[in-house]
Amino acid sequence: MSDAIAQSRVELRRRMRAQRTALPASARISAATGLAEQLLPLIENQPPGYLAGYWAMDGELPLHVLVPRLPPGRIYCLPVLHADRCLRFAPWRAGDPITTNRFGIPEPLVDDSSLLSAQQIRIVLLPLLGFDRRGNRLGMGGGWYDRSVAFRKQQQAPPVLVGIGYAFQETEAGPIAEWDVPLDFVATERELIDCR
């Protein structure tokens, strides 16, 4: 990646993160309701199975309205950092034990034998800082999701990859890195964008 692209990504991350964290709680709650309305038809049209979400941090669009409304047969999972620098996913329900990872993000407290790989997940909801309508996602920069779903560059879903962000996080064609894995959909509080 060129220095100019790398710098462009750093600047876009900084700007989007500041805008996202400046949102008042009332706007996040309203957006969470809109997001659930946009996502539920897509989820209902997919076969039952595991659905991976995330624990909203740092102003990310929360999933707390969506999760209780998941259709029967959908098992909600949260990501867990793994030693191979890829994510694993653990089934989780409100009240299950959690711990915090090295980034301070809550994770299910489960034995490694209970963890699922990305290949076992039907739908992955990925938080983002920026996106475009072609399915390019700008994450936090650690590469955890891109490494975990890198196999999707050579094969079709599953998992279906759905970026989750506020409508204001849409950009024109964003700066792309060779390791970025394109999204199938982006869901905001206003719409579901088919990027395929």
Identity of the amino acid at 40: L
Confidence (pLDDT) at 176: 67
Average pLDDT over residues 101-117: 91
Confidence (pLDDT) at 1: 47
Per-position b or e across 98-126, b if 16+ CB within 10 A of its CB: beeeeeebebbebeeeebbebeebbbbbb
10-16-20-22 Cα dihedral, nearest 10 degrees: 90
| 3-194: in CATH 3.40.50.300 | no
- Tens digit of pLDDT for each residue in 146-196? 899 999 988 887 999 999 999 999 887 665 667 678 999 999 999 999 998
- Tens digit of pLDDT for each residue in 119-154? 999 999 999 988 989 888 877 767 788 899 999 988
Confidence (pLDDT) at 34: 96
- Tens digit of pLDDT for each residue in 4-63? 555 566 777 788 788 888 889 899 999 999 999 999 999 999 999 999 999 998 889 999
Average pLDDT over residues 95-124: 92
Q: Where are the domains of the chain?
A: 3-194
